[in-house]
Amino acid sequence: MKKITLIVPCYNEEEVLPVFYDRSTEVLKGMPCDYTLLFINDGSKDRTLEILKTLAASDEHVKYLSFSRNFGKESAMYAGFTNADGDYVAVMDVDLQDPPELLPEMFKILETEEYDSVATRRENRAGEPPIRSFFAHRFYHLINRISDADIMDGARDFRLMKRSMVDAIVAMSEYNRFSKGIFGWIGFKTKWLAYENVERAAGETKWSFWKLFKYALTGIMTFSQIPLNIASWAGIGLSGVSFLAIIFIIIRRLAWGDPVQGWASLVCIITFIGGIQLLCLGIIGQYIALIYLESKKRPHYIISETNIEDTRRIR
């Protein structure tokens, strides 16, 4: 019998965790396969770990890994992929925004059709603040244009994958992780299912606008070198402009002499060029920071407690 491992990252989710457990267990029990619920406690400060331990004590399908502090959802997913032993693996949010009821259909598709994974995307963003939706759409448009990561607008991290795909993800051991890009980059045949957006069942979102913005920048910088090219192009463009300006100034000098004028325009030009230079330096600096973090080879996560034997505790 095939086995599914559901990876569930949890950060301060005491309110919704029991609801998630009940609903997903009900769905999984009705499926013709074995399963494990692999919860990753991402350094929660509430009773999440306590609840996980209670669930694990009464249900052998429940496994948990508990981080020593909050490492972020990306690290939690990576810990899940590294420790998942199912034939099929899925990542799922604990807030029930990824409906467990889709699992039987996803499982059936993988069993009967020629796909390596079944991914989900939201058809709309109902219930989300409009400004957030606006920036999200711009982000997907931009990253698809400037990188070779092929990302569907509205794609969720919720997807059921075959073993071969999971192994490929684990092999991508980069420190600055952007899973939506990684899923697209590794390839494989993916079928997309669309569903109506569901709002969080309880608790509140762990992503502030600022955190999302930084995450979007990581996505762009880890999958595209275009921002670096901006520096070169700006340099070439400005050199061209200054060449034309030199010719203009020489002609004006020869034709009309050299009255001292133009202090204001000079200051504008100096500050403009100074600004461009700092911008380009900043872009280069961002990439160097990424290289610096990668080169330190720090672990993606540190596990302080778990009920899995033989884990990769540090990775």
Q: Which residues bind ligand UDP (CB under 6 A)?
A: 9-11, 13, 42, 70, 72-73, 76, 93-95, 97, 200, 205-207
> Are 217 and 283 in contact, with CB atoms under 8 Å apart?
no
What single-letter DSSP state applies at residue 302?
A: B
Return the number of the residue (96 or 165) whose C-beta is nearest ligand UDP.
96
Does residue 95 interact with Mg ion by CB under 5 A? Answer: yes
For Mg ion, which residue of 66, 97, 147, 179 counts as binding (CB under 5 A)?
97
Partner in contact with 70, chosen from ligand UDP, Mg ion, none, beta carbon below 5 to 8 Å by kind: ligand UDP
CB of 20 to ligand UDP, least distance (A): 9
Return the number of the residue (16 or 106) whose C-beta is nearest ligand UDP.
16
Return the number of the residue (97 or 222) whose C-beta is nearest Mg ion.
97
For residue 65, the cross-strand partners are 40, 306
CB of 231 to ligand UDP, least distance (A): 32
Angle at 314 between CA 308 and CA 315, to 5 degrees: 110
> Where does this chain touch Mg ion (CB under 5 A) — which range of 43-51, 77-85, 87-95, 164-172?
87-95
CB of 113 to ligand UDP, least distance (A): 28
Coil vs helix vs strand at 277: helix
CA distance 286 to 227: 10
Cβ contacts of residue 134 below 8 Å, gap of 6+? none
CB of 152 to ligand UDP, least distance (A): 16
CB of 211 to Mg ion, least distance (A): 13
Q: What are the C-alpha distances in Å from 242 to residues 249, 255, 261, 273, 277?
A: 10, 20, 18, 11, 15
Token digits for 198?
């569901």
The side-by-side arrangement of strands in the sheet containing 34-41 is 190-195, 117-122, 155-162, 88-91, 3-10, 34-41, 62-67, 303-306
CB of 9 to ligand UDP, least distance (A): 3
Partner in contact with 216, chosen from ligand UDP, Mg ion, none, beta carbon below 5 to 8 Å by kind: none
Partner in contact with 304, chosen from Mg ion, ligand UDP, none, beta carbon below 5 to 8 Å by kind: none
